Amino acid sequence: MKKRGIGFASVFYGTGYGNGFPDISNAIAELGMDGKITIYVGATEVGQGAKTILSQIAAEVFSMSVEEIIFVCEDTSITPDAGTAAASRQTYNTGNAIKIAAENLREEMIDVAIERLGLNSRVGLAVKNGRIFLKTFPEKGISFEEIALLVGDQHLRRTGSFTAQTTQMDEDTGEGAPYWPYTFSVYGIEVEVDTSIGTIEVIRSVCAQDTGRTINPKLVEGQIDGGFAMGLGYAIYEDLNLQKGKIKHNRFTNYLIPTAEDMPEVEKIFIENPESTGPYGAKGIGEPVTLAVAPAILNAIYDAVGIRIKEIPVTPDKLLIALKEKEMEV
């Protein structure tokens, strides 16, 4: 017999290392001789889209296209430390460091433009599409490439550093402010449980995700899909089968992971409430989109068959045993 149930779960997640641990990101912004902006940062791209989102933040500072940003990362000989690609911190932490470095460089470029154009004030200047010019008289301006030629071998190059706000928890009271900011996420999931063979199929899913401000919707959608797949595997597929300290399911023939056919369509709802301390209001969402999946599935199983499962993954054998025990209780 097949039975359906719906479950919900919500989480809040603190960005960064937390608990007073130094959480620092550094970046460098440099004007090239071709007028393009190069960002040097130690942020690691592991498929989450860091290169794209961090390039967008730099491009926004200069009101130019992302294609005009040269992004250099993952080379410790020329890039400053930006911390690990962990704790959902790169967009928030390193994004802030890049924004600061880019803004510092922009101000230095404006100083050169003021001197070259013979202006007596910064008032009314605009920076857009590779030029610095007077808003009221756009013809009076100078290109980024011209600025680079003026400074020559000096190279305009500025740094930026950002330290996240975090305090250590009080060991006696458990009180403190270990993280900032927090990200919030809610999943609603419908499952179909086949009580005859113990299988569980996720029919549909909805994710409402706090994004701060959504800088790149496609990347957020990708994070949610990836996070859901990880949570799905965690909940009902991925069983290490640890026996006496040895992993028995040590190959993909018996350690199952979700495939594309196992994935339902995930409806995404972005909840935008710009974070005042984030780069253009953005927050990190890497891990939050995974955390609520498994508990929502477990709640949906309970709604379907009235059994509260407390051990994951919920493999068919475990579910059949639980169903049998319930029958014996009756």
Positions annotated as catalytic residues are 287
Residue pair 235/193 in contact (Cβ under 8 Å)? The answer is no
DSSP states of 137-167 as a string? Answer: EEEEEEEHHHHHHHHGGG--EEEEEEE----
CA distance linking residue 328 with residue 100, whole number of Å: 65
The residue written with tokens 């305009």 in the block is 156
Residue 188, number of CB atoms within 10 A of its CB: 20
Where would I find the beta strands (DSSP E) of the chain? 2-14, 24-31, 37-41, 69-72, 125-128, 131-134, 137-143, 157-163, 182-194, 199-212, 242-243, 246-247, 266-272
183 forms beta bridges with 13
Token pair recorded at residue 137: 């008289």
Conformational region of residue 123, where left means phi above 0, alpha means psi within -120 to 50, and beta covers everything else: beta
Which element (helix H / strand E) includes 27?
A: strand 24-31
Gap between the Cα atoms of 235 and 318, Å rounded: 12
Total residues belonging to the chain:
330
Please say whether the beta carbons of 262 and 232 come within 8 A: yes
Joined tokens for residue 178: 């270990």
